[in-house]
């Protein structure tokens, strides 16, 4: 893998060395609440492999990641009750990526409501846990 840093924050979350508000886990993928959400119910989905970005993922893991993204996006839409769901995925600093373990953002969207600013305001984990509980019930 290209320059994968095993001490990036998502690698630490996967190893249980850093906290997160977990939403879902299977053998190959992991989903958790974004700590600086761009909308209420913002979830991140990551593969359990060392991959800086999507270009580092093999076809099998790409398929597994996208299947989990669809599963969690459905649950977010149902739990949050948002009319729209945006999926975003940034590759490389030039594209705005800030954590170099590949991930897909699942972000609730509403008519006429602007997207919150990327990775700025930290939310209390207890608030994220309430949302995660609602989402887990819909998976």
Residue 9 tokens, joined:
């924050």
Which residue in the set 84, 98, 115, 121 belongs to the binding site for ligand AMP (CB under 6 A)?
98
Considering the rule CB under 6 A, would residue 65 count as an interface residue with ligand AMP?
no
Cβ–Cβ under 8 Å, residues 72 and 135: yes
* Residues 6+ positions from 132 with CB-CB distance below 8 Å: 21, 22, 23, 32, 33
Taking the complex as a whole, how short is the minimal distance between the CB of residue 120 and ligand AMP, in angstroms? Answer: 8
Task: Single out the segment in contact with ligand AMP by CB under 6 A; choices: 22-30, 58-66, 90-98, 129-137.
Answer: 90-98
Report the catalytic residues: 103
DSSP secondary structure letters along 42-77: -EEEEESS--SSGGGS-HHHHHHHHHHHHHHHHHHH
Taking the complex as a whole, how short is the minimal distance between the CB of residue 107 and ligand AMP, in angstroms? Answer: 9
Which residue in the set 11, 23, 31, 35 belongs to the binding site for ligand AMP (CB under 6 A)?
35
Residues that bind ligand AMP (CB under 6 A): 9, 20, 34-36, 44, 90, 96-99, 119
């Amino acid at each position: 893998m290209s320059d994968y840093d095993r001490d990036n924050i998502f690698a630490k979350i996967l190893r249980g060395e850093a906290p997160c508000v977990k939403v879902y886990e299977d053998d190959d993928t992991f989903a958790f609440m974004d700590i600086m959400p761009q909308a209420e119910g913002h979830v991140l989905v990551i593969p359990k492999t060392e991959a800086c970005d999507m270009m580092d993922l093999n076809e099998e893991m790409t398929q597994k990641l996208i299947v989990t993204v669809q599963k969690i996006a459905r649950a977010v839409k149902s739990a949050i009750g948002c009319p729209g769901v945006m999926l975003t995925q940034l590759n490389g600093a030039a594209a705005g990526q800030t954590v170099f373990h590949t991930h897909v953002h699942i972000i609730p969207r509403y008519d006429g409501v602007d997207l919150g600013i990327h990775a700025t305001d930290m939310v209390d984990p207890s608030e994220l846990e309430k949302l995660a509980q609602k989402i887990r019930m819909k998976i």
